[in-house]
Amino acid sequence: MEYVSPEGLRLDGRRFNEMRQIVAEIGVVSKADGSAVFEMGNTKVIAAVYGPREIQNKSQQLKHDRALVLCEYSMAQFSTGDRRRQKQDRRTTELSLVIRQTMEACILTELMPHSQIDIFLQVLQADGGTRSACINAATLALADAGIPMRDLAVSCSAGYLNSTPLLDLNYVEDSAGGADVTVGILPKTDKMDAKLPMETFETVFALASEGCKAIAERIREVLEENTKQLEYRRAA
């Protein structure tokens, strides 16, 4: 299968180092303390954050000196069509865990002892890169909720197909069986699905990191825009 034409165009018209269109918006769930929608092309994730609040279930409280971060991830029935039902459970648990660890590492939990932060993520449409979209949406929602963070956690994927490193894989590219790397900047690199020789890995990793920087830029813009609007409202 030809995922990149000899003219250097991917199936959806992008070049190797181009990200899909990003749409980000915060404050979309009125009842939540913080919320956001994050879209990368056809992949669309909504995040809602509740907290910091009092710990609901005392038995879960292991350490009192920092906040407990919980994450629930789900996928809308209609989000993927019919593609991957069986593996959903394992994937769901695994994803929740990865996202929780990523967010926990970036929240200044020690500033909020005896409290709990809940992050709810729902994938509305899945077209590749859901893991990254979830992390980006969660970051925005946490910022919206005013939860103190070390830095913005952002994520972007990159893969390697037809001997070309590709930024931000869509579903078709993601299912091609090539190697892909999801890079979460700030806490740690998380996962790689297939094996890559070291030098290839480095180029793919560098590409994903570039993607992360671009996303971080975008998220900052959204947040700054929001701050301006708040200031404007306050002034009015």
Partner 1 sequence: MLQSKVFNKKTRGGRIQKQVREVYLRDDIYCGAFACKSCDTSAARLSSPKIIVLDTNVVLHQIDLLENQAIDNVVVLSVVLDEVKNRNRSVYNRIRALCSNPAKQFYVFSNHVHKDTYVQAMERESANDHNDRAIRVATLWYQKHLGGTSQVLLVTNDRENKRKATEEGISAETIEAYVKSIGQPDLLDLLAQPTAEDITMEDADDSRPSKRKLVYLEHKPMSEITAGLHRGIYHQGKLRVNRFNPFEAYVGSESIGEEIIIYGRSNMNRAFDGDIVAIELLPRDQWQEEKALSIAEEDEDEDDTVHLAPNSADDAPRISSLAQETSGDKNAVPARPSGRVVGVIRRNWHSYCGSLEPMSLPAGSGGTAHALFVSKDRRIPKIRINTRQLQNLLNMRIVVAVDSWDRQSRYPSGHYVRPIGKIGDRETETEVVLIENDVDYSPFSSQVLACLPPLPWSVSSEDVSNPVRQDLRHLLVFSVDPPGCKDIDDALHCTSLPNGNFEVGVHIADVTNFVHPGTPLDDEASKRGTSVYLVDRRIDMLPKPLTEDICSLRADVERLAFSVIWEMSPEAEIISTRFTKSIIKSSAALSYVEAQARMDDSRLTDTVTTDLRNMNTLAKIMRQRRIDRGALTLASAEVKFQIDTETHDPLDIGMYQIREANQMVEEFMLAANVSVAEQILNQFSSCSLLRRHPTPTREMLEPLLRTAAAIGLTLDVSSSKALADSLDRAVGEDPYFNKLIRILATRCMTQAVYFCSGDLTPPEYHHYGLAAPLYTHFTSPIRRYADVFVHRLLAASLGIYKLPTVFQDRPQLTSVADNLNYRHRNAQMASRASVELHTLIYFRNRPTDAEARVVKIRSNGFIVFVPKYGIEGPVYLTAKGEKGAGDWYVDEEKQKIVKMDGSLSYSVLQTVKIHMEVVEPQPNRPKLQLTLL
Q: What is the DSSP string of 61-107?
A: ---TTS-EEEEEEEE-GGGSTTS--TTHHHHHHHHHHHHHHHHHHHB
Closest CB 146 distance from partner 1, rounded Å: 33
Closest CB 14 distance from partner 1, rounded Å: 5
Which residues here bind partner 1, judged by CB under 8 A? 2, 5-7, 9, 12-14, 18, 20-21, 41-42, 81-82, 125, 127, 163, 170, 172, 177, 194-195, 197
193 φ, ψ (degrees, to nearest 5): -90, -40
User: Is 231 exposed, middle or buried (CB count within 10 Å of its CB: 0-12, 13-18, 19+)?
Assistant: exposed
Q: Which is nearer to partner 1, 153 or 215 (CB)?
A: 215
Closest CB 82 distance from partner 1, rounded Å: 6
Q: Which is nearer to partner 1, 30 or 163 (CB)?
A: 163
Closest CB 130 distance from partner 1, rounded Å: 15
H or E stretch covering 137: helix 130-144
Q: Which is nearer to partner 1, 83 or 233 (CB)?
A: 83
Q: Which is nearer to partner 1, 57 or 163 (CB)?
A: 163
Q: Which is nearer to partner 1, 58 or 195 (CB)?
A: 195
Dihedral sign from CA coordinates of 58, 59, 62, 68: negative
CB 205 within 8 A of CB 155: no
Closest CB 140 distance from partner 1, rounded Å: 21
